């Protein structure tokens, strides 16, 4: 077994996940808990960290502790200010925030990224920058689905910019808080997803096609079992169409996702004629923290 040389932590709003990483990059041990930043009492971050990875810290005192995610937000342990794009792994590593974790030891928190598109519209990410550092892509587009999906553009190893789409959150709002969600029936019929992909191509814009969900059910064109898959396909295809418009026609596309997200975005991209690769989120996250920690050590 390779000697552990990194304690990597993804500390989000609701969850904390940790990996003990060997010097060859292999995962030696893992830990996870529902101890996201919203569950940590004021001043309670050091104790929460020790509770989950204290044994690793004691056993491997030379292993750096590197964290990313909402732990570096203004509601987290300490705010790690956003680094403006374009930047690269070295730029992230040079602006790590430091926190005292006791016994004369400090931990590092990776900063988020900020970007303003050519029109001046602002955007931010926190956590996804670490996945970008670990995806191994020098030139191309990285798609990171989720509640707020990120499309990031890499050029010559630098993060040139990114665009956020609120696809997941909008789907949840439509499902739980609109008349469209009330039309939905279970079990879901995935034929609705392909209908949604096609509907995104029709004229009239997103809000018009969203209303067509109701019209289609009322007129018998679609069943209630197709409603939620239809909405998912419509929203994802609309996002994909807008995301592809921001990257070059021959850009390599990498999707960082698994399970339902991976399948849905793969289907939408293939429907639009775009080849892509899929990478596992945990794999690239840990690889990203390793890359950032190595860059920080080189410039220490």
pLDDT value at residue 299: 79
Query: Residue 87 is part of which domain span?
Result: 4-134+281-298
Q: How many CB atoms lie under 10 A from the CB of residue 39?
A: 14
Q: Residues 160-219: pLDDT tens digits? A: 999 999 999 999 999 999 999 999 999 999 999 999 999 999 999 999 999 999 999 999
pLDDT value at residue 77: 98
Q: Which SS3 state, helix, strand or coil, does residue 90 take?
A: helix
pLDDT value at residue 110: 98
Asked, for residue 71, whether it belongs to a domain, the answer is yes
Residue 165 is inside which H or E element, if any? strand 158-165
Asked, for residue 107, whether it belongs to a domain, the answer is yes
Asked, for residue 253, whether it belongs to a domain, the answer is no
pLDDT value at residue 1: 62
pLDDT value at residue 128: 97
- Into how many domains does the chain fold? 1
pLDDT value at residue 173: 98
pLDDT value at residue 103: 87
Contact 144, 127 (CB under 8 A): no
Q: Which residue bears the tokens 């992230």?
A: 92
Asked, for residue 196, whether it belongs to a domain, the answer is no
For residues 57 and 64, what is the distance between their CA atoms, to the nearest angstrom?
Answer: 9
Asked, for residue 118, whether it belongs to a domain, the answer is yes
Q: Residues 181-196: pLDDT tens digits? A: 999 999 999 999 999 9
User: Mean pLDDT for each consecutive 10-residue tract of the chain (300 residues)?
Assistant: 90 97 95 96 95 96 96 96 97 97 94 97 97 97 97 97 98 98 97 98 98 98 98 98 95 97 98 97 97 91
Asked, for residue 116, whether it belongs to a domain, the answer is yes
Q: Give the domain CATH number at 90.
A: 3.30.420.300
Asked, for residue 51, whether it belongs to a domain, the answer is yes
Please enumerate in sequence order all residues whose Cβ is within 8 A of that of 33, keeping only pairs 6 or more positions apart, or say none.
Answer: 15, 16, 52
For residues 9 and 232, what is the distance between their CA atoms, to the nearest angstrom?
Answer: 31
Asked, for residue 40, whether it belongs to a domain, the answer is yes
Q: Look at phi and psi of residue 69 and say left if phi exceeds 0, alpha if psi is from -120 to 50, else beta.
A: left
């Amino acid at each position: 077994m390779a000697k552990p040389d990194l304690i990597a932590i993804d500390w989000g709003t609701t969850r904390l996940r940790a990996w003990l990483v060997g010097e060859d990059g292999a995962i030696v041990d893992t830990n996870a808990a529902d101890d996201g930043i919203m569950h940590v009492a004021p001043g309670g971050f050091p104790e929460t960290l020790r509770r989950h990875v204290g044994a690793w810290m004691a056993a491997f005192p030379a292993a750096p502790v590197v964290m990313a995610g909402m732990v570096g937000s203004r509601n987290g342990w300490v705010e790690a200010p956003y680094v403006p794009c374009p930047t690269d792994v070295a730029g992230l590593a040079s602006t790590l925030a430091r926190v005292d974790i006791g016994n004369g030891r400090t931990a590092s928190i990776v900063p988020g990224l900020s970007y303003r598109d050519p029109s001046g519209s602002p955007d931010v990410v926190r956590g996804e920058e670490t996945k970008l550092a670990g995806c191994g892509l020098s030139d191309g587009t990285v798609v990171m689905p989720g509640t707020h999906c990120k499309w990031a553009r890499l050029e010559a190893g630098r993060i040139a910019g990114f665009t956020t789409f609120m696809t997941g959150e909008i789907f949840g709002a439509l499902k739980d808080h609109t008349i469209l969600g009330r039309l939905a029936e279970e079990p879901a019929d995935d034929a609705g997803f392909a209908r949604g992909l096609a509907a995104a191509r029709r004229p009239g814009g997103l809000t018009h096609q969203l209303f067509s969900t109701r019209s289609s059910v009322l007129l018998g064109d679609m069943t209630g079992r197709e409603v939620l898959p239809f909405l998912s396909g419509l929203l994802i295809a609309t996002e994909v169409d807008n995301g592809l418009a921001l990257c070059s026609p021959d850009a390599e596309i990498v999707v960082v996702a698994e399970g339902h997200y991976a399948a849905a975005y793969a289907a939408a991209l293939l429907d639009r004629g775009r080849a892509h690769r899929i990478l596992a989120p945990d794999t690239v996250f840990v690889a990203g923290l390793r890359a950032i920690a190595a860059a920080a050590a080189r410039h220490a």
